[in-house]
Structure formats: C-alpha cells, structure tokens
Amino acid sequence: MTVDLFIPCFIDQIYPDTAFNTVKLLRKAGIDVNYNPEQTCCGQPSFNSGYWDETKTLAQKFIRDFPNDRHIVSPSASCTGFIKNYYPDLFKDGQPEFEDYQRLNRNLFELTDYLANHLHFTDFGAEFPHKVCYHDACTALREYGIRTEPRLLLSKVKGLELVEMENTETCCGFGGTFSAKFTAISTAMTEQKVENALKTGAEYIVSTESSCIMNLEGYILKNKLPIKPIHIADILASGWTAP
C-alpha cells in the first residue's frame, strides 16, 4: 500500500529530521511512501490571522498537490485537524472544491493515529533510555482527538520511562500568532508548562506537534534548562536502523 506524505511548514523548515523519521516509521510498518515536493502550507497561519481569501488560495493548491484518492499521513495533528475542521469554512457544499475536501477529510491522518488505529503497528523495536513526559498539544487533543495513541506508542519503546506532568492538557503558550500578539501571556504559559515538566524529573518533553516543540525549545534554550523537547516520531525511530 502507498500513502502520500504531508510535511507541514515547521517540520519542513526547522525539523527536517522528523520528516525523514516519519518516512522511516511508515516503511518499517510496510507502507510505501510518496512525497510530492511541490506541497506547501495548508493555510492554517493565514486562516487563524483572518486572511481567509489568501487561505483559500493555499487550500486550493493543497488540494491540487494531493490529487490521489489514497491515505495521506502527516506528523502533525494541528495541520491535519485544521484541514478536517476548517476547510468547510472555505469551501461550501456545492462548490467545486467541496468534493475534494471530502476526499481529503476521509483520507487524511495524523501519524500516531494512523499507526495505532489503522495499521495497528505500535512496536518498532525502538530504544530510548530516558525519562520523558508527554505534552498534550491543544489541537492534537481538542481538534484532532488523540490522547491514548501517543502514549501507547511510547509504552512500547525499550528503556523509556513515561511520567505524567501536572496540567498536561494545558496549552504550552504557542497558539500560533497568539505567541506573537500576546507575548507576555504566552511566555508565562510556556514557563508554567516547562516548570511542570521539570518537576517530574523528565529529561525530555514529547509532543506530536513541532510548533509546540519550537515554542518550548526557545524558552528552554534561553533559560538554559536541563530538559529537551522532542517529536514522538524521533523517539520511535531511535535505536534501530532502517533496512
């Protein structure tokens, strides 16, 4: 079986290793991966900032970039959740693109959901001998609806100790343009999230969302704190070599 790979902007530009590890995981699970290098942004940043006309242009391009009626997998619940939940605000029933949206909606999956619930492939033989805590990103939890899937996958990793931090479902402070428009509030939220993670004694904060990872990483590096954020795909791909 072949799936199309959707790599969001943050991963493409800042964390490309996470994209390569996503391919590694899917291939280990027996899936062939097709990547269209013409793909760009799904439109979420402009939509959240109120630029819906510009977003519609990006969404139309996204539809053209993924023309196949087959599964599309992405290491981001934020972007997949946006497409599933908000493209109907751009393309109404009866418009030419609405049928394309329906095709995307039934075919588009976040990585951990796809691995756990559709492939039922949860043990990659990964090894990661560290204590970690998991951050439930807002969009992953509330818009896409994943919670148990990442934890199930982490429970299969050899040497990994998963501990829960206080208020794990509380926002890390990023919120897209929220962090730029309300910097002081955002920073206070990030500080609280990182402090809760540090209280657990964890060495890593794990998330499915590279945007949260980027936000947490900026605060952690600035304050020289002894914890690191990491994408779950990077953990699942560790400790073994692709054939």
Model confidence, pTM: 0.95
Considering the domain architecture, whether residues 114 and 129 belong to the same structural domain is answered as no
Classify residue 241: in a domain, yes or no.
no
Which of 91, 118, 145 finishes a domain? 118
* Mean local confidence (pLDDT), 119-137: 97
Can you tell me whether residue 40 is helix, strand or coil? coil
Can you tell me whether residue 186 is helix, strand or coil? helix
Distances (CA, A) of 59 to 101, 171, 184, 219: 9, 27, 32, 32
Which of 118, 152, 186 finishes a domain? 118
Considering the domain architecture, whether residues 128 and 112 belong to the same structural domain is answered as no
Which CATH number goes with the domain that contains 144? 3.40.50.1860
Domain residues for 145? 124-236
Q: Supply the DSSP string of 161-182, one letter for each residue.
A: EEEPPTTTTS--S-TTTHHHHS
Considering the domain architecture, whether residues 90 and 128 belong to the same structural domain is answered as no
pLDDT in tens, 68-100: 999 999 999 999 999 999 999 999 888 889 999
pLDDT in tens, 139-168: 999 999 999 999 999 999 999 999 999 999
Classify residue 242: in a domain, yes or no.
no
- Which residue has tokens 């493409």? 12
Considering the domain architecture, whether residues 163 and 78 belong to the same structural domain is answered as no
Beta bridge partners of 127: 158
Q: Supply the DSSP string of 62-110, one letter for each residue.
A: HHHH--SSS-EEES-HHHHHHHHHHHHHHS-TTSHHHHHHHHHHHHEEE
Count CB neighbours of 68 within 10 A: 13
